[in-house]
Amino acid sequence: MNVMKMMTTAAVAAVLGLVPSAYADVCVEDVKCVQRYPWNGLVDIEYTIACDDPDAEIYVNPVGFNGDTGLTVFPTHFSGDGATNTVKAGKHKMVWDARADMGLFASKNFQIKMYAGKTLAPYVVVDLSSGPDGEHFPIRYSLTGPDISDDACRTTELWLRLIPPGTFMMGSPADELGRSDNEDLHKVTITQPFYIGVFEVTHEQWYRVMGSYRSIGYYQGLEGFPVRQVSYVMIRGSVADNNPNGTTVGEGTFFEKIRRKTRANGFDFPTEAQWEYACRCGTATALYNSRNLTGVRGCSNLNELGRYYVNGYNGGSEHRWDRVENNYAAKVGSYEPNVYGIYDLYGNVVEICRDSWTDNLGGNAVTDPLPCGSIYKSWNGSNSDSTWFSVVRGGSGSSQASECRSASRGKQLCGDYAEWIGFRISCPGNLQK
């Protein structure tokens, strides 16, 4: 590959355009990358969109890849054709501000991979405004994220963010402060794009799908706060009937109802690997702001990222938690998101993943890991929902800092619900109605 020379420590290879097979009707071709000279941090990208429909509106999604490490990075500073608008078939130009995203970085084999498709919008929005009595929840696509000053994104709409395919290091290094011995560090490749909730599912969103509030944990005025007291079984169905590795969900569950009313079959929990990949967004540190913990119980680097023990549940207070101010959890979107605009991945409520629990992830590289694990994780061999453990991620309002790292793993009985348990929704990138 022809590597362009720069006058700084950065180097960007010729851009490689890749398109998942699921989007065979759209192809990125003739991609060229030229660094501006004298180097000012800008990289000019030219590309061609080939499509069977010349009038189709195409979404373009660039993502970085550091060939020296074999890991994906998540640059966001793009402008030009496809950066903030859809494009049609033909030739286009885009500009990447590499310095704004990467600073001074050293790589002899850096690439920008481009994914494009008719339905690969940066955001998917489910319209819940018709409520539990409505027959249909329309789906729309958006180029821009939610306006968090408007509570509609927390109540009558459900927002999901596109996560492109890529490779990352799952788990934690041996010297990471607060790590547990179940966080084996290993390389994971995810080959297909997927969407994940911008926020944790809230009380009002739960009501609009299910037709009732979770009375335990819900108080008037907390509609935009994360729903709690939910379980894997309530949301997805009995594990005995709906294997984590399968696609079916139980009748009358949250996922069954939202699939039926959107007329789209892909809504589910994220897998454990998807959750961590979306959380990290290219970072390899304990936290997604490229920082590590300063302490196991409390951490100054975490305080602005989520509600946890120090700034929430019983943090410096003798009483349990204030039900009026809801100190246990915060309104979703109250803290700083990661680079892809995903909120509350640390603290607030632990988030259920599809995977059943396994003690060790292993050190081998894997591609598209299935949501399996030790299915019958029970001390007595029973197959009932009360003895199946699902993976939970992210920590809660009662968690100390060490439980709110990107790599931190937990488990919860699938039939159990508690005030610290919530969830985030996911769906495939090729979501079709």
Give the mean model confidence (pLDDT) for residues 173-185.
Answer: 96
Cα first-last separation, the chain: 40
Same-domain pairing of 83 and 168: no
Last residue of a domain, one of 65, 82, 117: 117
pLDDT band, residue 7 (cuts 50/70/90): very low
pLDDT given for residue 24 in this prediction: 53
pLDDT given for residue 104 in this prediction: 82
pLDDT given for residue 324 in this prediction: 38
| Short-list 420, 416, 394, CA closest to 405 | 394
Of the two residues 399 and 23, the one the predictor is more confident about is 399
Give the mean model confidence (pLDDT) for residues 217-226.
Answer: 81
Is 125 inside any structural domain?
A: yes
Task: For residue 102, count other CB atoms closer than 10 A to its CB.
Answer: 19
pLDDT given for residue 384 in this prediction: 64
Same-domain pairing of 182 and 324: yes
Same-domain pairing of 361 and 380: yes
Q: Looking at residue 112, which CATH number applies to its domain?
A: 2.60.40
For every residue of 160-171, DSSP letters joined together read: EEEE--EEEEES
pLDDT given for residue 149 in this prediction: 97
Is 28 inside any structural domain?
A: yes
pLDDT given for residue 195 in this prediction: 98
C-alpha–C-alpha distance, residues 170 and 189, integer Å: 10
Q: Exposure pattern of 28-55 as b/e (b: 16+ CB <10 Å)?
A: beebebebeeeeebbbebbbebebeeee
pLDDT > 50? residue 323? no
Same-domain pairing of 140 and 113: no
Give the mean model confidence (pLDDT) for residues 76-89.
Answer: 97
Is 2 inside any structural domain?
A: no
- Number of domains present in the structure of the chain: 2
pLDDT given for residue 21 in this prediction: 34
For every residue of 281-349, DSSP letters joined together read: TT--SSSTTS---S-SS--TTTTTT---GGGSTTTT-SSS--TTTTTTS--TT-S---TT-----SSSS
**Helix-then-strand count for the chain, H and E:** 6, 20
Last residue of a domain, one of 77, 100, 117: 117
- Cβ contacts of residue 423 below 8 Å, gap of 6+? 200, 201, 227, 230, 235, 269, 349, 351, 352
For residue range 324-346, what is the model confidence (pLDDT) as tens digits? 344 678 999 999 999 999 999 99
Same-domain pairing of 98 and 178: no
Same-domain pairing of 109 and 166: no
Q: Exposure pattern of 117-126 as b/e (b: 16+ CB <10 Å)?
A: bbbbbbbbbb
For residue range 267-297, what is the model confidence (pLDDT) as tens digits? 999 999 999 999 999 999 999 999 999 999 9
Q: Looking at residue 190, which CATH number applies to its domain?
A: 3.90.1580.10
Same-domain pairing of 112 and 161: no
C-alpha–C-alpha distance, residues 405 and 393, integer Å: 9
Look-up: residue for tokens 């306006």?
A: 147
Is 258 inside any structural domain?
A: yes
Strand 421-422 to 366-367 pairing:
unpaired
Is 8 inside any structural domain?
A: no
- Cβ contacts of residue 221 below 8 Å, gap of 6+? none
For residue range 230-265, what is the model confidence (pLDDT) as tens digits? 999 999 998 877 788 888 999 999 999 999 999 998
Mean pLDDT of the residues in the chain? 87
Six-digit token string for 314: 């019983």
Instruction: Give Cα 425 distance to the centre of its chain.
Output: 9
Same-domain pairing of 240 and 170: yes
**Rounded to the nearest 10 degrees, how much is the dihedral formed by the CA atoms of 175, 177, 180, 183?**
-60
Same-domain pairing of 91 and 125: no
Query: What residues make up the domain containing 95?
Result: 16-117
Same-domain pairing of 262 and 157: yes
Is 150 inside any structural domain?
A: yes
Q: Is 152 helix (H, G, I), strand (E, B) or coil?
A: helix
pLDDT band, residue 418 (cuts 50/70/90): confident
pLDDT given for residue 389 in this prediction: 87
pLDDT given for residue 317 in this prediction: 45
Same-domain pairing of 385 and 337: yes
pLDDT > 70? residue 157? yes
Q: Is 21 helix (H, G, I), strand (E, B) or coil?
A: helix
Last residue of a domain, one of 63, 97, 117: 117
pTM comes to 0.91
Is 1 inside any structural domain?
A: no
**Out of 177-181, 359-363, 378-382, 425-429, least confident range:** 378-382
Of 96-100, 314-318, 382-386, highest mean pLDDT:
96-100
pLDDT given for residue 258 in this prediction: 97
For residue range 380-395, what is the model confidence (pLDDT) as tens digits? 445 566 678 899 999 9
Is 206 inside any structural domain?
A: yes
Same-domain pairing of 69 and 197: no
For residue range 41-78, what is the model confidence (pLDDT) as tens digits? 999 999 999 999 999 999 999 999 999 999 999 999 99
